[in-house]
Amino acid sequence: MKNIKILTIFLSFAILSSCQKVIEVKIDQGTTQLSVDGEVTDQFGPYTIMLTKTQNYFNNNPALGLKGAIVIINDSDGIVDTLKEVSDGKYQTNKLLGKIGNKYNLYIKSAEFGEYTAQTEIRRAFKFDTIYSKYEEDDFSLQKKMQYNVRYSYTDNKGIGDAVRVKVSINDTLQNKPRDLEFHSDENVDGNQIKDVRANRDALKVNYKVTIRLLSITHDYFQFLTELEKQINNGGLFSNPPANVRTNIINKDPNGRKATGYFSGASIKIKDVVVTK
């Protein structure tokens, strides 16, 4: 009986093993596109435009910079600035000075991808009211432990259509993980003060320096960030199919390759604080 049981198990394993089949899945590599990331602000330059090439989903190597492109920005004051390539894919302005109320046109010409244009503007700034540190309960956790936080307040401009992006640096290091993407429109707070917003995700320590930048951005850039955030958080078993995020980078050839990314403008208000007991 013992031998029969062993033989039965062996035959069952052999049958199951013989049913296995290796299936090779061919994944469409897709078309390489131009990716653009850059902005003009009302702070002193130089301003940077990053040009890279998109790559396959499973390629974990850093994106390749696009070398040898012609990159020009002109503004509504008539200033024309041909950017200098300071490293592979990194282009910087020479004389442009961003100003609230001005519009900016970006022109890119590449032997590999063709010609692209984009437009943006620098909108009016928000009023940055206060920034302070506080020892308090952790309102991000159910444990309610005590910790140091930094909070800030600002006032929205009257008139619907404003939007803000918040960038936080701790000890001069920009908090730049997907969870740190912070932006809001004034749809429900028009003209009001937004009070005591917590700046930090994790607990702070005494003598930490926290710098907050309030960027007044265009409504279209706000929509770009909204779509980007949805794609970043679109994970899990029941996630939606990936969708293209909007861009303001337009190929001058209607039949040419589309681009990704965004060319933005912003006015910026900056305040910092050192955490104290």
Q: What is the predicted pLDDT for the residue at 73? A: 98
Query: What is the enclosing helix (H) or strand (E) of 97?
Result: none
Q: What is the predicted pLDDT for the residue at 9? A: 45
Q: What is the predicted pLDDT for the residue at 274? A: 98
Burial of 236 (0-12, 13-18, 19+ CB in 10 A): exposed
Q: What is the predicted pLDDT for the residue at 137? A: 92
Per-residue pLDDT tens digits of the chain, which is 277 residues long: 444 444 444 444 444 444 555 555 454 556 899 999 999 999 999 999 999 999 876 667 788 999 999 999 999 999 999 999 999 999 999 999 999 999 999 999 999 999 999 999 999 999 999 999 999 999 888 777 999 999 999 999 999 889 999 999 999 999 999 999 999 999 989 999 999 999 999 999 999 999 999 999 999 999 999 999 998 887 655 555 566 899 999 999 999 999 999 999 999 999 999 999 9
Determine the Cα–Cα distance for residues 181 and 230; give it in Å rounded to an integer: 11
Determine the Cα–Cα distance for residues 262 and 116; give it in Å rounded to an integer: 12
Determine the Cα–Cα distance for residues 118 and 34; give it in Å rounded to an integer: 13
Q: What is the predicted pLDDT for the residue at 7? A: 42
Q: What is the predicted pLDDT for the residue at 2? A: 45
Q: What are phi and psi of 87, to 5 degrees?
A: -160, 175
User: Are 110 and 124 a contacting pair, CB within 8 Å?
Assistant: no
DSSP assignment of 160-210 equals: TT-EEEEEEEETTEE--SGGG-EEEESTTTTT-EEEEEE--SS-B-TT-EE
Q: What is the predicted pLDDT for the residue at 15? A: 45
Q: What is the predicted pLDDT for the residue at 142? A: 79
Closest CA to 200 of 150, 251, 252, 235: 150
**What letter represents residue 97's amino acid?**
L
Closest CA to 33 of 50, 52, 49: 52
User: Are 215 and 98 a contacting pair, CB within 8 Å?
Assistant: no
Instruction: Quote the distance between the C-alpha of residue 272 and its chain's center.
Output: 22
List Cβ neighbours of 182 (8 Å cut-off, separation of 6 or more): 165, 166, 167, 168
Instruction: Quote the distance between the C-alpha of residue 172 and its chain's center.
Output: 19
Q: What is the predicted pLDDT for the residue at 57? A: 61
User: Are 96 and 82 a contacting pair, CB within 8 Å?
Assistant: no
Q: How many CA atoms lie within 13 A of 119 on its CB side?
A: 3
**What letter represents residue 157's amino acid?**
N
- CA quadruple 173, 174, 178, 182: dihedral positive or negative? positive
List Cβ neighbours of 212 (8 Å cut-off, separation of 6 or more): 128, 131, 150, 152, 166, 167, 168, 169, 199, 270, 271, 272
Closest CA to 40 of 92, 87, 85, 88: 92
Fold of 34-122+243-263: Immunoglobulin-like (2.60.40)
